[in-house]
Chain A
Amino acid sequence: MTQLILALILGSIFSFGTFLLLRRDLIKVILGVIILGQAANIYLITMGGFSGTVPVLSNSDSLVSITNPLVQALVLTAIVISLGTTAFVLVLLLRVHDEHGTLDIDRIWGQL
């Protein structure tokens, strides 16, 4: 059941990101890209499976009962990377706005 709900949620996040990506407003496009990236992160977390407890080792737990900690490490790395790229892309967005006075893609890229 958890899996079905998560699959539906993930699907809708991905489609929402794609929807934003196809808009004319540059800031929406960038939001779409960010949402796509985050959707990929959530998806990556679900790839580790849902059984088991938090992956903190103590003497009482047996090894089999913890969830896969590797995907969580991967997602942490991916989040750090997306922080950097998001900061860069937002600065670039500001720059585009300064230089063209608009964030309408048709008006900026139309005069290419």
Chain B
Amino acid sequence: MTASLSLINHAPVVPLLIALLTASVTLLSRRSIKLTISLSLLGMFAYVVSLLHLLRSVQHGPLVYQFSAWPAPYGISFVADSFASLLLCISAIITAGVLLYSITTIDESKQKFSYHSILHFMLFGVTGALLTGDLFNLFVWFEVTLMTSYVLVVFHSNPKQTKAGMTYVILNLIGSAFMLVSIGGIYATTGTLNLADLSLRLSQPDLYNISVPSVLLFSMILFTVFALKSGLVPLHFWVPLVYQAAPSPVSALLSGVVKKVGLYAMIRIFFTVFISNESTSVGEFSILTIFGISLLLLSSASMIFGGISALSQDNIDNLLAYSSISQMGFIMLPLSLAALFPSMRQMALMATIILTLNHSLAKASLFLVSGCIKNAIGSANLSDLGGLSRHSPILSFSVFISIFSLVGFPPLFGFFGKLHLLILPLNTESVPTTYSILLVLIILVGTILSLLYSVRLWNLGFWGEISPKVSASTFPRSNQYVILLFSIMLISFGIGFEFISPLIESASISAIDSSGYIEAVLYHK
């Protein structure tokens, strides 16, 4: 037993343990705020380093960790592939930035109130959700992440937050009940919860006596739950409410990290598990086709609706929240194309991953800017702002880079996402011409809308005359450097796209490599 244990590569559980350990020690060291902050920073640093190490070691194939060395379908497996590791790395970087920002902006007395501990517990949940190879385990990690996000949303405990928190909690509890129903149904029809085993059984439904129509029903319930968590239209209404009420660093985390967990789960469940069922179909369609058509409708609706709503917002947080809904549409649209057209699956996944990373970085930076503005001026309404570009150039530079990376201007990182997205429908070999014209039109309208609300944010808030409220305020320097860091990453990822594209490419390959996943989990050692 000891010999076999020492052979197992422990790399996949190291980040998880670091997050758990940091959360525990920051909880225990609450008496001294200085000690808490230094432990929290140390833990964050170790977490990022362990993830970078994990990302490097999974480039040659997924790493599998079987808890207590129980073999795959019976025990709980953790699977780290390059897709999950890449998303985790970006989440870690964003959380590290948010942590640095929080240390300087949130009152010490409030930080003392286990802020650091909750933040690390959230990382713990996110790590588990992205690495687990078991459907029920995914539910549990979702709950861990959500539980911490409930607390963070109501962290300053004012009436506005209580209301938003209540909506958020109730919606997610309903979502969890539905997720349980779907998991139970999938277990009853297929007889397994291990994702790799599930994928294997679904590839031969007759052999395992699986009724595909029931699996389709439960997969659609799961889809609805994930759509709720990632805030797609028509399940988007909690997004502006929560993002506006939550403290700005928390909004940055919610949009940059927690929302992406729903997205990751959707990709993992549909493109690793249900993909294997492609050849057998219900009536005319396979599960993946029905998923693709539903997602295409929802993502186009999100793109347009989010864009139009963002245009009329006066509050920066509301504008960013609606923009987040619209950007989620951009992120999901290539996914739906990937589900519908197998020939361009990998290209589409690449577009999704680039857009996800870009949105996480840009939106986190924008929410932190909105936090800076709220702290300095006391309001985040565009009508109170004006002339910020002359008043605080560093902050304005970050906003400029972030919004135009979201829109997709070269040479910023977002440009490559939009580029990959736009060439998908033009692939006329697989997409019929009328559809491709329609798709290009939707993408263009969505992009023009995001350009319009970005320019509006820039013109009203950052150009023009310096408003009296702005001239009376001072912006502390230290927070601005953290935000600047995100913008520098957006620029350098764009200019040095050649250097990070291999990482994104291998992530997109491993996201759709169902047989490789099965092989790694079930037959490795």
Q: Which of B136, B166, B178 contacts A92 (CB 8 A)?
A: B166
* Inter-chain contact B157/A44, CB cutoff 8 Å: no
**Given the interface contacts A47-B184, A95-B157, does A37 sit within 8 Å of B177 by beta carbon?**
yes
- Report Cα–Cα, A50/B510, bound state, in Å: 40
**Given the interface contacts A33-B173, A36-B177, A88-B169, does A71 sit within 8 Å of B184 by beta carbon?**
yes
Q: How many residues of A contact B (CB 8 A)?
A: 33
Q: Which residue of A lies closest to B191 (CB)?
A: A68
* Inter-chain contact B174/A81, CB cutoff 8 Å: no
* Inter-chain contact A112/B163, CB cutoff 8 Å: yes
- List the A side residues contacting B62 at CB < 8 Å: none
**Min CB–CB distance B433 → chain A (angstroms):** 45
Q: Chain B interface (Cβ within 8 Å of chain A)?
A: 136, 139-140, 143, 147, 150-151, 154, 157, 159, 162-163, 165-167, 169-170, 173-174, 176-178, 180-181, 183-185, 187-188, 193
Would you list 26 pairs from A and B whose C-beta atoms are within 8 A, ordered by A residue? A33-B170, A33-B174, A37-B173, A37-B180, A39-B177, A40-B180, A40-B181, A41-B180, A43-B181, A44-B180, A47-B188, A70-B187, A71-B187, A74-B184, A78-B180, A81-B176, A85-B143, A85-B147, A89-B166, A92-B154, A95-B162, A96-B162, A96-B166, A99-B162, A109-B163, A112-B163
Tell yes or no: A65 within 8 A of B by CB.
Answer: no
**SS class, residues of chain B in contact with chain A:** helix
A/B pair count, beta carbons within 8 Å: 82
Q: Given A43-B181, A44-B181, A112-B163, list of 17 further CB < 8 A pairs?
A: A37-B173, A40-B177, A43-B180, A44-B184, A47-B184, A47-B185, A47-B188, A74-B184, A78-B180, A81-B176, A84-B147, A88-B147, A89-B166, A92-B162, A92-B169, A95-B162, A99-B162
* Inter-chain contact B170/A30, CB cutoff 8 Å: yes
Q: Which residue of A lies closest to B140 (CB)?
A: A77
- List the A side residues contacting B166 at CB < 8 Å: 26, 89, 92-93, 96
**Min CB–CB distance A78 → chain B (angstroms):** 6
**Min CB–CB distance A48 → chain B (angstroms):** 8
Tell yes or no: A108 within 8 A of B by CB.
Answer: yes
